Amino acid sequence: MMYKLLKNLFLLFCVTVLFASCRKEALDNYYGRPENLGPPIYQTLEGKGNFKSLLAVIDKAGYKSTLSAAGYWTFFAPNDAAFQKYFTDNNTSLDKIDEATARKIVTYCLVYNAFQTNHIADFQSSTQPVGWSPNLAYKRRTAYYDGFYTGSGPEGNATVLASSNRNGPNYILGDNNNKYIPYFYSTYMTTRGLTEADYKYFFPNSTYTGFNVVDAQVVNKDILAENGVIHEIDRVILPLPNLEDQLTKNPQYSLFKRLLDRFMVTYGLSPDLTSRYTTLTGSAKNVFIKYYSALLAFSPNNENFTRVQENDGQTDGYSMFVPTNDVLYKYLNDIILTYYKTDPTVPLTNAQIDVMVNGLPPGIIADLLNAHMFQATAWPSKFSSTLNFLNEPARFNSTTNIVEKQFCSNGIFYGTNIAQAANVFSTVYSRAYLDPQNYSIMTLLLNTSLRVVITNPNLKYTLFMMPDAALRAAGFDYNPTTATYSYTVNGVPTTGNGPRDMLLRILQLSVVPTPNGELNDLSGSGIIETSNGEYIRWNNNTISSGGTVEKKIRLNVVGSNTYSNGKVYYLGNNGIISFPERTIPQQLSENALTTTSPYYNFYRYLVSSQSYNGTTFDLTGLTFGASYTVFVPTNAAIEQAVKDGVLPGNPLTGVPNFTPTSTTDKDNVTRFLYYHILNGLTIAPDGKKSPNGTAQPT
């Protein structure tokens, strides 16, 4: 019995051992370390034999253990020949490389995640479709970041600072603002329509091979290691500056930098970073985050891209075109500050410009800066198709207008010998915009409704200027404190939407689409449709509108300026183009009050009809301020209509009966009146519209 039990137990043990052995073999086959997998990155470099200098630098940087342990890295590894070239070019040696420099060399070439060439040009998308988006990437995030630094700030020139890691006044704790390293792989270049010339524009002394990292060539790719992949390169690469660094280090761009610092920079005390700094250094100094305004296209010290997606810094970067000081001073003098000068014809000194610029509205400064800033990589062959923050192309010639170019860690820096001619400063819009002392209300109104179209250089417009003084003389005003418009009549002010809508109607009367330059010469005469469908007339350099005719005045044109997309005219005696304030029946009464008036009969039918409102002095259904066209029959035409039985009266003599009693006759009068009124359409003898409202052929 005992023997049988022992035998069974032995058999069970053998089966258990056999099962465990089989299970372990299966697990090893699935999860075990592949036989063809190399050792970790550090040991792989040792085994290659031509990375002795790099290994020494890794040791100095303190990264031996990191590159010998588990991980998932891409390492752009400079070989010994690359270091020898570096030593010669910089008159240094391996012994002279300190720990800080060693750390820069290692961490800037060390990229998070392992990318072989089958995915090096692919974007890791986090939106649909999630995964690899082929051939959309040319940068990767590295292990290098600047961290804390000292500079000018709230506590003087030795303020401890940290750069913003997002655009605008934002900072995300835990994000070290790591730099990106650019590389140029053939499939990406082809997909983007880029060529060797785009690469050599920045790196003229390097050979383009179809796989370059900054100015280095990849001479041996896809070296697999246990904790990542190695791409051997033939140059030592140090961290690239970001756009703020590049701007700061060259004094010939100091004016552009001063504008950024003066108008767009703020500093925020960070208790969290202060605590971290104290832990790292033992110092009790405060740490401030350097922010850039949300008005700006991007923060030049932000190493990340927009972060609409987690990895969007792989696919794109910023671009900054910065005029040299002499160019920017001239642009400020000639364009931006024209209407701030006592005498526009006398140039300002640079010192005067420095003072006067401080009085400019932040919006003008933001537009000036943003005209030179792009939330996209402006490749030299793609200037005309790359749009800045104002949605305008880069108006620079890559051969003649660029005096400096530098690939940076977060974008491309271009020094220029011209300023970007921004639409807001070169189109008809600029006349009011750049003269806020005289045209602040007009600018506000333009920004409400018409700025987009009248700043388009491909659309032609004529503007009749609306000075603040003229608008105030007419009873209008704007209170910037309460952001409200007002209209005062007989000392009684009205606020709210009513005054704003009245002003917008005046504005639309003053903005005229002129695609063929119809108003370039006002010495003749004619009639033209304005932007809201109403009409104005010109005659021998005078202007009239429904409102001015009503007031029995004409506005004299006393001057003009020409801009890239049209002209602006100035009207004498603080005049503005106004709209009529009387109803259609009131307007008709001017030529219809007596029996000898040519339109007496039509007018009498109108004011005697069942549709006439004696309180509003208008016909039922008509809206004040809406567009109508009235075809008014003469007295003779009305008499004929009576004879034809269309209108009530004596059919033998044609004498009208203005006060019929029958319902049928009343309805006939109503139908007759409304039949002569076009609703929502204005027809004028300008030769451009037919009675059905369609454009006539030209």
Give percent of the chain above pLDDT 70.
Answer: 93
- Give pLDDT, residue 25: 53
Report residue 12's pLDDT band, with 50, 70 and 90 as the boundaries. low
Mean pLDDT of 4-9: 50
- Give pLDDT, residue 267: 98
Report residue 91's pLDDT band, with 50, 70 and 90 as the boundaries. very high
Q: Structure tokens of 203?
A: 């790196």
Which letter does DSSP use for residue 333 in this model? I
Buried b (16+ CB within 10 A) or exposed e, 70-102: ebebbbbbbbeebbeebbeeeeeeeeebeeeeb
Equal CATH topology for 41-143+180-238 and 427-571: yes
Handedness of CA 681, 685, 689, 692 (dihedral sign): positive
Cα-to-chain-centroid distance, residue 663 = 63
Report residue 459's pLDDT band, with 50, 70 and 90 as the boundaries. very high
Which letter does DSSP use for residue 142 in this model? B
> Is residue 70 helix, strand or coil?
coil
- Give pLDDT, residue 622: 87
Encode pLDDT of 660-671 as tens digits: 999 999 999 999
What ranges do the domains of the chain cover?
A: 41-143+180-238, 255-422, 427-571, 584-679
Rg, C-alpha atoms of the chain? 38
Among residues 622, 599, 604, which one has the least CA distance to residue 669?
604
Mean pLDDT of 590-600: 87
Amino acid sitting at position 376: A
Mean pLDDT of 408-415: 98
Angle, to 10 degrees, between the axis of helix 99-108 and the axis of helix 52-61?
Answer: 110
- Give pLDDT, residue 2: 46
- Give pLDDT, residue 695: 45
> Is residue 115 helix, strand or coil?
coil
Handedness of CA 121, 122, 124, 126 (dihedral sign): positive
pLDDT at 509 over 50: yes
Using CA atoms, how far residue 109 sits from 163, 183, 236, in Å, is 21, 11, 9
Encode pLDDT of 390-406 as tens digits: 999 999 999 999 999 99
Beta 73-78 vs 228-233: how paired, if at all? parallel
> What whole-number distance in Å separates Cα of residue 114 and Cα of residue 73?
5
State in words which class domain 427-571 has. Answer: mainly beta
> What whole-number distance in Å separates Cα of residue 308 and Cα of residue 178?
17
Q: Is 694 exposed, middle or buried (0-12, 13-18, 19+ CB in 10 A)?
A: exposed
> What whole-number distance in Å separates Cα of residue 541 and Cα of residue 536?
13
> What whole-number distance in Å separates Cα of residue 433 and Cα of residue 440?
8
Report residue 344's pLDDT band, with 50, 70 and 90 as the boundaries. confident
Q: What is the DSSP string of 348-409?
A: PPHHHHHHHHTTS-HHHHHHHHHTTEESS---GGGGGG-B-TTS-B----TTTTEEEEEEET
Encode pLDDT of 29-68 as tens digits: 444 455 556 899 999 999 999 999 999 999 999 999 999 9
Does domain 41-143+180-238 fall under CATH 2.60.120.260? My reply is no
pLDDT at 98 over 80: yes
> What whole-number distance in Å separates Cα of residue 473 and Cα of residue 549?
19
Give me the chain's average pLDDT, please: 92
Encode pLDDT of 284-299 as tens digits: 999 999 999 999 999 9
Mean pLDDT of 80-98: 97
> What whole-number distance in Å separates Cα of residue 270 and Cα of residue 38?
45
Highest mean pLDDT among 16-20, 578-582, 690-694: 578-582
Report residue 691's pLDDT band, with 50, 70 and 90 as the boundaries. low
Please report where in the chains the tokens 């290098």 appear, as a residue: 144
> What whole-number distance in Å separates Cα of residue 606 and Cα of residue 223?
93
3-state helix, strand and coil shares in percent for the chain, rounded to the nearest 5: 35, 20, 40
Angle, to 10 degrees, between the axis of helix 80-90 and the axis of helix 52-61?
Answer: 70
pLDDT at 8 over 70: no
Angle among Cα 541, 694, 696 to the nearest 5 degrees reads 60
Using CA atoms, how far residue 194 sits from 82, 119, 388, 400, in Å, is 27, 19, 20, 20
Residue 651 preceded by cis peptide, ω within 30: no
